[in-house]
């Protein structure tokens, strides 16, 4: 009997992940999740008290994992760390994130409106904005338009999402992530070297 309960719970989670990924949290329906899981709506509520608890069950561990990775990346990366080996490491790290977690990434950054995670994309942009601003030379910041750092950070996150949304295969992701990282680290002139 316990095995059957766990199997039903997993079917609900898989159906919910698919629904949240396709439609986002706000547009998703417990009725559609139940239908796709092959159970009644009341049975879904036997396992999860509401739609937000179900979304949280799916996304929470990735949220914490991704948050820590971003903190580690922005803490450890500096202009002095741009050796070929470190750049390759960043490219592999970001590529692996997209290849292994693209559904969660898209759900968290694109489909979480209406949940406790809805501001995470903006927080992420702010983290990168501060990181870029902090690692620019003092003369480049003085008198300059600091809003450019917000634009650069927004572009990075949106570009990462675009690569995830248009996923073709792992090799395609690797190639585009490499171009994106090189662009953000070195500018357009070094992208096509």
Q: Note down pLDDT in tens along the chain; length 193 residues.
A: 566 889 999 999 999 999 999 999 999 999 999 999 999 999 999 999 999 999 999 999 999 999 998 888 777 665 555 566 777 777 888 899 999 999 999 999 999 999 999 999 999 999 988 888 877 654 455 556 788 889 989 999 999 999 999 999 999 999 999 899 888 877 766 555 5
DSSP state at residue 189 = G
* Angstrom distance (rounded) from CA 32 to CA 6: 20
Between 84-110 and 51-76, two packed helices, what is the crossing angle to 10 degrees? Answer: 160
* Angstrom distance (rounded) from CA 179 to CA 159: 11
Q: Is the pTM of this model over 0.95?
A: no
Give the pLDDT confidence score for residue 89 in this predicted structure: 78
DSSP state at residue 92 = H
How far does CA 181 lie from the centroid of its chain?
16
User: Is residue 125 within 8 Å of residue 154, measured between CB atoms?
Assistant: yes
Residue 159 φ then ψ, to 5°:
-65, -40
Between 2-27 and 51-76, two packed helices, what is the crossing angle to 10 degrees? Answer: 70
């Amino acid at each position: 009997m316990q095995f059957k309960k766990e199997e039903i719970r997993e079917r609900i989670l898989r159906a919910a992940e698919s629904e949240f990924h396709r439609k986002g949290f706000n547009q998703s329906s417990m009725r559609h999740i139940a239908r796709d899981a092959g159970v009644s709506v009341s049975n879904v509520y036997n396992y999860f008290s509401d739609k937000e608890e179900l979304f949280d069950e799916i996304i929470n561990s990735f949220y914490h994992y991704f948050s820590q990775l971003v903190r580690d990346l922005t803490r450890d990366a500096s202009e002095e760390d741009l050796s070929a080996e470190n750049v390759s490491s960043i490219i592999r790290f970001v590529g692996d994130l997209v290849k292994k977690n693209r559904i969660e990434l898209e759900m968290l950054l694109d489909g979480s409106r209406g949940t406790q995670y809805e501001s995470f994309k903006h927080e992420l942009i702010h983290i990168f904005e501060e990181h870029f601003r902090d690692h620019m030379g003092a003369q480049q910041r003085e008198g300059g338009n600091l809003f450019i750092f917000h634009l650069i950070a927004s572009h990075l996150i949106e570009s990462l999402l675009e690569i995830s949304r248009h996923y073709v295969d792992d090799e395609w992701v690797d190639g585009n992530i490499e171009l994106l990282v090189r662009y953000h680290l070195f500018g357009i002139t070094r992208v096509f070297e």
